A = this chain, B = another copy of it.
Amino acid sequence: MNFKLTAKDPQSKARAGVITTTHGEIPTPIFMPVGTAGSVKAVHQRELKEDIDAKIILGNTYHLYLRPGIGLLEKAGGLHKFNGWDRPILTDSGGYQVYSLSENRKIAKEGVMFKSHIDGSSHHFTPEAVMDIQRSIGADIIMAFDECTPYPCDYTYAQKSMVMTHEWLTRCISHLAATPFKYDYEQVLFPIVQGSTYKDLRKQSAEFIAQQNQAGNAIGGLSVGEPHEDMYAMTDLVCSILPADKPRYLMGVGTPENILECIALGVDMFDCVMPTRNARNGMLFTSQGIINIRNEKWKDDLSAIDAALGGYASTFYSKAYLRHLVINKEILGAQIASIHNLTFYLWLVREARMKIEQGIFAEWKNKMVKTVSQRL
């Protein structure tokens, strides 16, 4: 994997670049749609490529491990072959999902024991096991096994957890070095900075992560309920420590506003379920602002969903038709809204990239944040 910085914004820490993987190039900043169980919900693979122009998608290790299971994924030759998505894939480590199970998991130094949400069966995720699993899934970018602390989190726990995450990282790196590639292409590791909302812990963690000299680095444990100012402060601090010549991935973020603000702080990669999950509830992100399509206001509005974006879903269907579908719980409503929201997110990062290249990102960002956050 290769990362090349191509432009820097003079008025912010925003950067533009290109990540090159075996499965193709990823221009940064980039937003990565989430395909939890090997499908970006309600969206065909063809639509992801041709309409949304996603450059990389996510898979969730926890879900894919439980179903369809590693055996079938290996038999298929990895997730790319299984679901037909031939551009890059990033998998998380399962840490976040396991942490979400709360009652059904036990965290120890060795790893995490948890019970499947599907059938209650017991499983053990260790750093080594999770590296093997992600290799079998076949992601281009695999994430280190970490603990994502909740918010709020007391200092002692956050510190202890961070130390354990660092120890787990060392085990991930050793295990990858000691075992061969699974498929005929490169799979790189991104370590994850933790430390909750404590500056000294974040600094310590970022320094530790930076020293590992991996292909890219991630910031975890944010967007878990903390105030936006804390998210921005931690991101800013961590970005100032992580190496500039490696891509920086802020996990699980976020709203269009969050993304623009964190691009300004030097983040290159984002993922979030928000565009697809909110789409299924009738919430649309558009180039003009946020629309709750269930609102009576859109009942008779026969204009395109978002003509400024271009693309099938956003221009072919009207707001009134989409509202009708959503109110009627028609599956097509979820489909259209999901394609539209992802088209918007990918449009937003493409626009951001262009403004960085033109050296006018900061000013554009300040205006755009207001536009995309307003409720229409």
A residues lining the B interface (CB < 8 Å): 37-46, 67-68, 72, 75-76, 82-84, 299-300, 302, 312, 316-318, 320-321, 324-325, 327-328, 330-336
- Residues in B whose Cβ lies below 8 Å from that of A312: 44, 46
Closest chain-B Cβ to A316's Cβ sits at a distance in Å of 6
CA distance A327 to B302 in the complex (A): 37
* A331 x B42 contact (CB < 8 A): yes
CB atoms of B332 and A41 under 8 A apart? yes
Task: Give the distance to chain B from A216, nearest Cβ to Cβ, in Å.
Answer: 29
The count of identical subunits is: 2
Q: Which residues of B contact A82 (CB under 8 A)?
A: 302, 318, 320-321, 324
A335 and B67 contact, Cβ closer than 8 Å, known pairs A82-B320, A321-B84, A324-B38: no
Chain B contacts for A333, CB-based, 8 A: 39
Can you name the residue of chain B whose Cβ is closest to the Cβ of A325?
B39
A331-B332 in contact (CB<8A): no
Check if A302 sits within 8 Å of B37, measured CB to CB: no
Leading 7 A-B pairs by shortest Cβ distance: A42-B331, A68-B324, A39-B332, A39-B330, A37-B328, A41-B331, A76-B302
**Given known A-B contacts A46-B312, A321-B82, A67 and B332 have beta carbons under 8 A apart:** no
User: Which B residues touch A331, using CB under 8 A?
Assistant: 41-42, 331, 334-335
Q: Is the beta-carbon distance between A42 and B300 smaller than 8 angstroms?
A: no
In the bound complex, do residue A330 and residue B41 qualify as a contact, i.e. CB atoms below 8 Å apart? yes
Task: Tell me whether A300 and B330 are in contact (CB under 8 A).
Answer: no
Closest CB in chain B relative to A74 CB, distance in Å: 11
Known contacts A37-B328, A330-B39: A300-B72 contact under CB 8 Å: yes
Min CB distance A298 to B, Å, is: 11
Q: Chain B's nearest CB lies how many Å from the CB of A339?
A: 9
From residue A23, how far is it (CB to closest CB) to chain B in Å? Answer: 17
A320 touches B72 (CB 8 A): yes
> What is the CB-to-nearest-CB distance from A1 to chain B, in angstroms, rounded to a whole number?
27
User: For the complex, what is the distance from the CA of A331 to the CA of B36, rounded to whole Å?
Assistant: 12
Determine the distance from Cα of A50 to Cα of B364 in the docked complex, in whole angstroms: 39
Separation of A82 and B319 alpha carbons in the complex (Å)? 10
B67 touches A327 (CB 8 A): yes
Q: How far is the CA of A67 from the CA of B323 in the complex (A)?
A: 11
Contact between B84 and A332 (Cβ–Cβ < 8 Å)?
Answer: no
Within the complex, what minimum Cβ distance (angstroms) separates A7 from chain B?
36
- 11 inter-chain pairs at a CB distance below 8 angstroms, sorted by A residue, are A37-B330, A38-B321, A38-B325, A39-B330, A39-B332, A46-B316, A68-B320, A76-B320, A82-B320, A84-B317, A331-B334
What residue in chain B is nearest A276 (Cβ atoms)?
A: B331
A273 vs B325: C-alpha distance when bound (angstroms): 18
Q: Which residues of B contact A40 (CB under 8 A)?
A: 332
Structural contact, A45 and B316, CB atoms closer than 8 A: yes
Q: Which of A42, A44, A320 has the most CB of B within 10 A?
A: A44
Give Cα A67 to B328, complex, Å: 8
B39/A316 in contact, CB under 8 A: no
Q: Compute how far the CA of A58 lies from the CA of B325 in the bound complex, rounded to whole angstroms.
A: 16
